[in-house]
Homo-oligomer: A and B are copies of this chain.
Amino acid sequence: MEIDVALVRVWAQRAGELLLHSYFNRVIPERKLDTSVVTMADRAIEDWLREQILAHYPHHGVIGEERGPIGLEREYVWVIDPIDGTSSFVAGLPMWAVSIGVLWRGEPLIGVIYLPVLRDCYWAIAGEAAFWNDTPIHVAPPEPPSPNDWIAIPSTFHRAYTIHYPGKVRVLGSVAADCCYVARGKAQAAIIGRAKVWDVAAGWVIVQAAGGVVCPLEGTLPDWSTLLHTVRLPTPVVIGHAEQVQRVCAWVRRISV
């Protein structure tokens, strides 16, 4: 592999520190202005990440939330989200992340997620171990939930679904963070809404390297080449240990309208 993961971790951390110190909690109270400040932060960081990537790997492709895709047909494609969890960021909540994924020949290869407020880095290379900073991590074993166990769910889940999970649910506000806490075995599973590719590219590498699976809640998932072009997932997904994911899927019901 031609990519230096230690360098990607440094980029994610620098981007996160820049966001934390120059933009976080500096957003102006009026809600419309919030949006433009966060867009400014998002763009500045995406541009900075793209510069690093293309300076080191000029023949790679890049797709991100704020700027157009470049070279999606290339062997390596970087899939970046400068701020995953922008509405958490705007709300002054701690759960938002810098997410950097790399695909190799259409398959996720590297995932690096940095949570600036916690100063935590989660990362993995496909087929190897997953790490929280320098500690190897694993998804939780598929035990039946006790009342203190928890899963993460999307912030809009209540509008379309009910869930009969006997433990706690949490809404963290960042899909990347959902993946991290599943990979670390803190959440038993997470339900992720119809996310965009840059929300999940890094997280799924980490979850899978930690022993978890990604399972569509409805229908099937297309391959990554298709996802890069459709951008948004066609279905919510459930992530976690394979057996736990099956349980969670069985607890979810679509609200009949």
Contact = CB atoms under 8 A, between A and B. Distances in A.
Contact of A158 (B118, B169, B173): B169
A91 interface: yes
A158 B117 CA distance: 28
A74 interface: no
A173 B234 CA distance: 30
Interface string A139-166: 0000000011010000111110011111
Nearest to A119: B117
A19 interface: no
Given A117-B118, A170-B155, A171-B171, A150 B91 contact: yes
Contact of A168 (B95, B120, B156): B156
Nearest to A187: B91
Most B C-beta atoms less than 10 A away, residue of A156, A171, A173: A171
A235 interface: no
A71 interface: no
A181 interface: yes
Most B C-beta atoms less than 10 A away, residue of A157, A158, A181, A186: A158
A118 B91 contact: no
A236 interface: no
A184 B92 contact: yes
* A: interface residue count bin: 20 to 34
B117 A87 contact: no
A165 B116 CA distance: 30
Contacts of A95: 93-95
Contacts of A148: 87
Contact of A162 (B156, B162, B168, B187): B162
A184 B162 CA distance: 30
Contacts of A173: 170
B186 A169 contact: no
A155 B187 CA distance: 13
B150 A155 contact: yes
A94 B177 CA distance: 11
Contact of A155 (B93, B168, B185): B168
Top 7 closest pairs, chain A to chain B, by CB? A155-B168, A94-B94, A91-B186, A170-B171, A171-B171, A94-B118, A158-B163
Interface of A: 29, 87, 91-95, 117-118, 120, 147-148, 150, 155-159, 162-166, 168-173, 181, 184-187
